[in-house]
Amino acid sequence: MFGITKSNAKKSTLLALITVVFAVIARFLTLHLPNVAPFEAMMIFGVFALHRKILSLILPLAAWFATDLIINNTIYAGFYEGFTWISQSFIFATIAMLLIFGFTQFLKKRSEEKGSILGYYGLASVVSPLLFFAVSNFGVWAGMHMYPPTLSGLGMCYVSALPFLTYGMASTIGFSIIFGVMGYLFQRQSAQSPSQA
């Protein structure tokens, strides 16, 4: 659908750079919306579209880290004591992203076996926010001491975070569609100009 072939490493790199620039701009433009960020969708897209799969994990995490570094030390500086390199929420997000990366890799392999990339891409875009929600809010419950360290405290944490799940689902699905369209258009343009490869 929107994969870049192994023989076209330059175009794969260009697509990765375009995706990173778009994601960073989108992160700053959607800053005021809770739980809306393009990085999860960027990783899902990367697994399905980029030849070098490791880039699909490294680039979203690097872009997320860089934007958080700026945001946490300027806009949200009042919430932290001194300069903040890594926030606790970034640590929880990284753990969730590693899990989602593995899950998406599995779905990508299934899509190749079944010949249904679009369906598995859509499935990854729907299930990944649920995994992110489960892992990151478990981290909030276990590491931030905002809720009692009991099962009912864990339940309270998940219930309190449900509105954020809605935003996260909409964000990941929406950005996955945008990245998918970008990848399709990029591949189509690349196919029309093979002499530039």
Residue 2 pLDDT > 80: no
SS3 117: helix
Q: Give pTM, 2 decimals.
A: 0.87
Q: Which pLDDT does position 190 carry in this prediction?
A: 75
Distance of CA 5 to the CA centre of its chain: 22
With a cut of 90, say whether residue 191 has pLDDT above it: no
143-to-2, 34, 37, 147, 157 alpha-carbon distances in Å: 39, 20, 22, 10, 12
pLDDT category at 50 given cuts 50, 70, 90 is confident
- Cα dist. 94→18, 36, 86, 177 in Å? 22, 16, 11, 23
Query: Residue 141: pLDDT above 90?
Result: yes
Q: Average per-residue pLDDT in the chain?
A: 89
> Where are the chain's structural domains?
9-196
Model pLDDT, residue 132? 94
Amino acid at 122: G
The single-letter code of the amino acid at 179 is F
Sequence-distant (6+) residues with CB within 8 A of 31 are: 71, 75
| Mean pLDDT value of segment 36-42 | 95
Exposure string of 84-100, with b = 16+ CB inside 10 Å and e = fewer, is: beebeebebbbebbeeb
Q: How confident is the model at residue 51 (pLDDT cuts 50, 70, 90)?
A: confident
pLDDT at 116 over 90: no
For residue 11, the Cα-to-chain-centroid distance in whole angstroms is: 21
- Render 152-193 in DSSP notation, one character per residue: HHHHHHHHHHHHHHHHHHHHHHHHHHHHHHHHHHHHHHHHH-
Q: How far apart are CA 74 and CA 179, in angstroms?
A: 28
Residue 141 · residue 147 · CB < 8 Å: yes
